[in-house]
Structure 1
């Protein structure tokens, strides 16, 4: 850090320009002839965060590429006053406005896209498993439905055969039930009539008993009033 502060501002500006130009290139190819191979320049660089607007001012700290900052001011000369939160502490500083952008850097966006893609891939695999399970259940249900339809067809055939053999079995059953109800009703009527006949016999017996008793009583009374006088009494009368 002290060495950077003692450097010539012009040299520092040229060095920073070269560094930034390499950092923001979409890709850099290195060709070393027929036996060479292609490589790419990394975008993982640190940006100087200065105490004031200008390359001559002290560097407070180096901000990693993709750091989140809050823009407080942008001057006409292209310098921006920023607020950086470092572990809960707000640090104010300056850097060229050309080094900031309104959206995260490509590596962060790529990481987010990879996470989203991984999540979608997991959901896709889960959906494939669920689809396979549903297909198995569907095939099993179709086979069961086919079996049930076959059994239903056989049962309908058996029912038709039973109906053709029995004919009017249902109607006969209804008639039998009706006759059974009539027989039960007649039995009830017969029981009532028998009870009434038994009661009438008792009444007749009581009437005959009362009639006999009356005749006997009447005979006794008649015998009492019309009894002949005794012979002894007649002789006493003649004397």
Structure 2
């Protein structure tokens, strides 16, 4: 960071500090003058007992002033249980230059630390981003590999599906042929039964005819014998 940038930051911090101190001024906040250590007494005269010495830059709130405006009763901002009297001329409405510079340096150090932290976070973010991009590329490659595998599986599964369809058609045809065959078997059985009955009737008729023929032949022979016997 250049000196010009540091000066700019210091000025901005001073403005911010002044803006922050504005609400405090509503409470009549004052500060011990620069390069001074002043006594805080129990009363408004130098004859009163000294309670403590206030360092330069000490923030105090003025509660009241003496009639001649030379003394002010104050309370410490950082310890409201401590009140006392000090000379009004030794107080000023703004922090001392040394105190302001100290605060600005502290703010500047905090900003530098924050900038360093932000740089580290940026480096980490870039690293994470690069890792995510690499992971995304790997996922895209895996996705493409899966698509290729799926395409191969679909291509290889088409033939079994076709064969399965053909088998199903053959099963249906076989079922129809079996039905036809069963029908033919039943019809053949019926015809065979009819043939058996027909041949049985024919055999019976032949037997009856043979019997009748035998009787006729016997009768004829008997008559011939009788006729031959009558001739003698």
Do both proteins adopt the same fold according to a TM-score greater than 0.5, normalized to the shorter chain? no
Q: Normalized against structure 1, the TM-score is what?
A: 0.41
Q: Which of structures 1 and 2 has the larger relative contact order (alpha carbons within 8 angstroms, sep 6+)?
A: 2
Q: Normalized against structure 2, the TM-score is what?
A: 0.42
Bigger proportion of residues as helix: 2
